[in-house]
Protein backbone atom coordinates (compact mmCIF):
# COMPACT_ATOMS: atom_id res chain seq x y z
CA UNK A 1 0.00 0.00 0.00
CA UNK A 2 0.95 3.63 -0.43
CA UNK A 3 2.51 4.67 2.86
CA UNK A 4 5.36 7.01 3.82
CA UNK A 5 8.67 5.17 4.01
CA UNK A 6 9.45 6.95 7.27
CA UNK A 7 6.47 5.31 9.01
CA UNK A 8 6.90 1.69 7.92
CA UNK A 9 9.29 0.97 10.80
CA UNK A 10 6.66 2.13 13.29
CA UNK A 11 4.05 -0.13 11.71
CA UNK A 12 6.38 -3.13 11.62
CA UNK A 13 7.35 -2.62 15.27
CA UNK A 14 3.79 -1.99 16.44
CA UNK A 15 4.66 1.54 17.48
CA UNK A 16 2.47 4.62 17.43
CA UNK A 17 1.94 6.19 14.01
CA UNK A 18 1.23 9.92 14.03
CA UNK A 19 -1.52 10.61 11.51
CA UNK A 20 -0.22 14.13 10.86
CA UNK A 21 2.91 12.57 9.33
CA UNK A 22 0.74 10.44 7.06
CA UNK A 23 -1.64 13.18 6.13
CA UNK A 24 0.89 15.84 5.22
CA UNK A 25 1.34 14.13 1.86
CA UNK A 26 -2.36 14.07 0.95
CA UNK A 27 -3.46 16.61 -1.65
CA UNK A 28 -6.90 18.17 -1.58
CA UNK A 29 -8.59 19.81 -4.54
CA UNK A 30 -10.46 22.95 -3.53
CA UNK A 31 -13.58 24.34 -5.17
CA UNK A 32 -11.43 26.62 -7.30
CA UNK A 33 -9.57 23.60 -8.62
CA UNK A 34 -6.36 24.45 -6.80
CA UNK A 35 -4.50 21.80 -4.88
CA UNK A 36 -3.33 22.42 -1.36
CA UNK A 37 -1.46 20.22 1.05
CA UNK A 38 -2.79 20.00 4.57
CA UNK A 39 -0.15 19.50 7.23
CA UNK A 40 -2.30 18.26 10.10
CA UNK A 41 -5.40 16.17 10.69
CA UNK A 42 -8.03 18.75 11.61
CA UNK A 43 -11.43 17.15 11.10
CA UNK A 44 -13.22 13.87 10.48
CA UNK A 45 -12.52 13.90 6.74
CA UNK A 46 -8.81 14.34 7.40
CA UNK A 47 -8.88 11.58 10.01
CA UNK A 48 -10.60 9.18 7.62
CA UNK A 49 -8.01 9.82 4.91
CA UNK A 50 -5.18 9.12 7.35
CA UNK A 51 -7.01 6.13 8.85
CA UNK A 52 -7.39 4.49 5.44
CA UNK A 53 -3.64 4.76 4.87
CA UNK A 54 -2.90 3.42 8.35
CA UNK A 55 -5.47 0.64 8.06
CA UNK A 56 -4.05 -0.56 4.73
CA UNK A 57 -0.47 -0.61 6.03
CA UNK A 58 -1.25 -2.36 9.32
CA UNK A 59 -3.56 -4.87 7.65
CA UNK A 60 -0.90 -5.60 5.03
CA UNK A 61 1.63 -6.51 7.72
CA UNK A 62 -0.67 -7.93 10.40
CA UNK A 63 -3.61 -9.64 8.67
CA UNK A 64 -4.77 -11.07 12.00
CA UNK A 65 -5.63 -7.52 13.13
CA UNK A 66 -8.16 -6.91 10.34
CA UNK A 67 -11.29 -7.36 12.47
CA UNK A 68 -9.78 -5.25 15.28
CA UNK A 69 -9.00 -2.42 12.85
CA UNK A 70 -12.42 -2.62 11.21
CA UNK A 71 -14.24 -2.52 14.55
CA UNK A 72 -12.12 0.35 15.83
CA UNK A 73 -12.62 2.34 12.64
CA UNK A 74 -16.40 1.89 12.97
CA UNK A 75 -16.22 2.96 16.62
CA UNK A 76 -14.33 6.18 15.89
CA UNK A 77 -16.60 6.88 12.92
CA UNK A 78 -19.63 6.48 15.21
CA UNK A 79 -18.09 9.00 17.61
CA UNK A 80 -17.68 11.48 14.77
CA UNK A 81 -21.30 10.98 13.71
CA UNK A 82 -22.79 11.10 17.20
CA UNK A 83 -20.70 13.72 18.95
CA UNK A 84 -18.62 15.74 16.57
CA UNK A 85 -20.90 18.31 14.98
CA UNK A 86 -18.34 21.11 15.26
CA UNK A 87 -14.69 21.28 14.28
CA UNK A 88 -13.77 21.56 17.97
CA UNK A 89 -15.73 18.41 18.77
CA UNK A 90 -14.11 16.62 15.83
CA UNK A 91 -10.70 17.56 17.20
CA UNK A 92 -11.78 16.07 20.51
CA UNK A 93 -12.49 12.74 18.79
CA UNK A 94 -9.14 12.98 16.97
CA UNK A 95 -7.36 13.59 20.29
CA UNK A 96 -9.24 10.66 21.85
CA UNK A 97 -8.17 8.40 18.97
CA UNK A 98 -4.58 9.59 19.29
CA UNK A 99 -4.56 8.79 23.02
CA UNK A 100 -5.96 5.30 22.45
CA UNK A 101 -3.51 4.49 19.67
CA UNK A 102 -0.59 5.77 21.78
CA UNK A 103 -1.65 3.67 24.76
CA UNK A 104 -2.17 0.52 22.69
CA UNK A 105 1.19 0.99 20.97
CA UNK A 106 2.91 1.13 24.35
CA UNK A 107 1.15 -1.87 25.88
CA UNK A 108 1.31 -5.45 24.67
CA UNK A 109 -1.85 -6.42 26.55
CA UNK A 110 -4.28 -4.02 24.85
CA UNK A 111 -6.14 -3.91 21.56
CA UNK A 112 -7.75 -0.91 19.92
CA UNK A 113 -11.12 -2.55 20.50
CA UNK A 114 -10.64 -2.68 24.27
CA UNK A 115 -11.97 0.89 24.34
CA UNK A 116 -15.23 0.39 22.42
pTM: 0.85
- Using a 10 angstrom Cβ sphere, with 0-12 exposed, 13-18 middle and 19 or more buried, the burial of residue 103 is middle
pLDDT digits (tens, 9 = 90+) for 46-96: 899 899 999 999 999 999 999 999 999 999 999 999 987 898 999 999 999
Q: Can you give the pLDDT at residue 101?
A: 97
**Residue 34 forms beta bridges with which residues?**
none
23 within a domain of the structure (yes/no): yes
Domain membership flag for residue 102: yes
Give the helix/strand (H/E) hosting 35: strand 35-37
- Would residue 116 count as lying in a domain? no
Q: In this structure, is residue 63 part of a structural domain?
A: yes
Domain tally for the chain? 1
CA distance 108 to 86: 34
- Domain interval for residue 38: 5-111
DSSP state of 27: E
What local confidence, expressed as pLDDT, does residue 24 receive?
A: 66
Amino acid sequence: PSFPDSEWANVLQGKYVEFDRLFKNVDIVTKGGRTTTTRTVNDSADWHAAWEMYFAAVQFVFRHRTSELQAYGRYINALFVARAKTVEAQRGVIDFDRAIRMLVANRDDLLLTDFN
